[in-house]
C-alpha cells in the first residue's frame, strides 16, 4: 500500500487499498457508467489526447488489450513498451525509465514481476503509475472482480465469496477488495500456500475478517461466489510437479460444485483447464468468467480517468 499526502504529487494505484472506500465506490460507479456508455454508443472521450505508457515484463492478453482499447475509447493513446523494446532491457535503472517516461506520457501502467519495481516507478514518476500486475498484487483485476460481483449479486450486501487454491497475488488483492466492500470472504488453500499474514492484517484493518481453511468443501458451502486461479503462475514452472500434488482436491469441478450448485464461478484467466478448474465448470451456466474478463476494460478505464482528473 502507498500513501500520498502531498497534493502536488500524482496519485498512484499500486494496490486496492491505495483507494479509500469512498474512492473505490467512485471508481466502480464510473466503471458502470463507461459500460453503459459503450452499450448506448455515448461518447466518453474523457482522456482525449492523453497517452498511457504500458511497461510489460510479463506476457499478457487481457491486460494489454483492455488497457490499449480502453485508452482508445477514452480518446487517448496507449504505447506498448516491452522490456526488450526499451533501454530497461539493457540495464537502465527503473528510476531513470520512470523519470524519462514522465516527460512523455500522462500515465504509466506497469506489469512486472517484483512489487518493489512498481514502487520504484511510482517514487520517481511525475505522472500516475498503475499496477497492471506484480507477484504480490493485481488490483486492476480486483476492480473488475468487484464490478462483476456487484452486477451479479445486485450489490455487496450479504454476499459470501470463497477463494479456492493458491493464495497468490490475485487472491491477496481480492481479499483487500472484499474487506473494503463488506463481502464475507473464505479462503481455502493447501498448507503452505496461504495468504500473506501482512495482507490478512491489512484486510482486518479495513474492516474485513477473512476466514481461512484448508478444506475446500467446507469453504464453498453457502458461497455465492467461487473464485479460483492457476496453481502454477508465471515463473513457477519448475514447481509444477510439487504444486500439482499439493493442490489435489482443490479443483473447481463437479465434485466441489455439488456442494455449491447455485454459486457463480469466477476465474481471472488464463485458465489451465483440467487443473485448477474443469472445462465443464468454465462453460457451465454458473460461470461468469467472461463477464469478469470484459469488466477489466470498464474498470481500468474508470481508474485511469479518475487518476488523471
Domains of the chain: 12-138+296-308 (3.40.50.1370), 141-292 (3.40.50.1370)
Q: Binding-site residues, please?
A: 60-63, 87, 111, 138-141, 169, 229, 233-234, 268-269, 296
**pLDDT value at position 4?**
47
Q: Binding-site residues for L-ornithine, please?
A: 169, 229, 233-234
**pLDDT value at position 6?**
54
Q: Is-contact 121 110, C-beta < 8 A?
A: yes
Q: Binding-site residues for carbamoyl phosphate, please?
A: 60-63, 87, 111, 138-141, 268-269, 296
**pLDDT value at position 3?**
45
Run means of pLDDT, 10 residues per run, the chain, 309 residues: 61 98 98 98 97 94 97 98 80 92 98 96 98 97 98 98 98 98 98 97 97 98 97 86 96 97 98 97 98 98 97
Query: CA 182, CA 201: separation in Å to the nearest integer?
Result: 15
Q: What are the residue numbers of the active site? A: 111, 138, 141, 229, 268, 296
**pLDDT value at position 90?**
75
**pLDDT value at position 235?**
77
The maximal CA–CA distance of the chain, rounded, in angstroms, is 55
Q: Is-contact 113 235, C-beta < 8 A?
A: yes
pTM of the model: 0.95
* Residue labelled with grid coordinates 470463497: 162
Q: Is-contact 174 201, C-beta < 8 A?
A: no
Residues paired with 109 in a beta bridge: 54, 130
* Residue labelled with grid coordinates 477488495: 177
Amino acid at each position: 500500500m502507498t500513501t500520498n499526502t502531498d497534493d502536488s504529487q500524482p496519485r498512484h494505484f499500486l494496490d486496492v487499498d491505495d483507494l479509500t472506500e469512498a474512492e473505490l465506490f467512485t471508481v466502480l460507479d464510473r466503471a458502470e457508467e463507461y459500460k453503459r456508455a459503450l452499450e448506448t454508443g455515448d461518447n466518453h472521450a474523457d482522456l482525449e489526447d492523453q497517452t498511457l505508457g504500458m511497461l510489460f515484463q510479463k506476457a499478457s492478453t487481457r491486460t494489454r488489450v483492455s488497457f490499449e482499447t480502453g485508452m482508445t475509447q477514452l480518446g487517448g493513446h496507449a504505447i506498448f513498451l516491452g522490456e526488450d523494446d526499451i533501454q530497461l532491457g539493457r540495464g537502465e535503472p527503473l528510476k531513470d525509465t520512470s523519470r524519462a517516461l514522465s516527460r512523455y506520457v500522462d500515465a504509466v501502467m506497469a506489469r512486472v514481476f517484483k512489487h518493489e519495481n512498481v514502487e520504484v516507478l511510482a517514487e520517481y514518476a511525475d505522472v500516475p503509475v498503475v499496477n497492471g500486475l506484480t507477484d504480490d498484487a493485481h488490483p486492476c483485476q480486483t476492480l473488475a472482480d468487484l464490478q462483476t460481483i456487484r452486477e451479479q449479486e445486485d450489490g455487496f450486501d450479504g454476499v459470501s465469496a470463497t477463494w479456492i487454491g493458491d493464495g497468490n497475488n490475485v487472491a491477496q488483492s481480492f481479499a483487500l477488495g472484499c474487506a473494503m466492500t463488506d463481502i464475507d470472504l473464505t479462503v481455502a488453500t493447501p498448507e503452505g500456500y496461504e495468504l500473506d499474514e501482512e495482507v490478512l492484517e491489512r484486510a482486518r484493518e479495513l474492516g474485513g475478517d477473512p476466514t481461512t481453511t484448508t478444506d475446500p468443501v467446507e469453504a464453498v458451502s453457502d458461497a455465492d461466489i467461487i473464485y479460483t486461479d492457476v496453481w502454477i503462475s508465471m515463473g513457477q514452472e519448475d514447481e509444477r510437479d510439487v504444486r500439482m500434488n499439493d493442490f489435489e482436491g482443490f479443483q473447481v469441478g463437479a465434485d466441489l460444485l455439488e456442494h455449491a450448485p447455485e454459486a457463480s464461478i469466477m476465474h481471472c484467466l488464463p485458465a489451465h483447464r483440467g487443473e485448477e478448474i474443469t472445462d465443464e465448470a468454465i462453460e457451465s451456466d454458473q460461470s461468469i468468467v467472461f463477464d469478469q474478463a470484459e469488466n477489466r476494460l470498464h474498470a481500468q478505464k474508470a481508474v485511469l480517468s479518475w487518476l488523471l482528473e
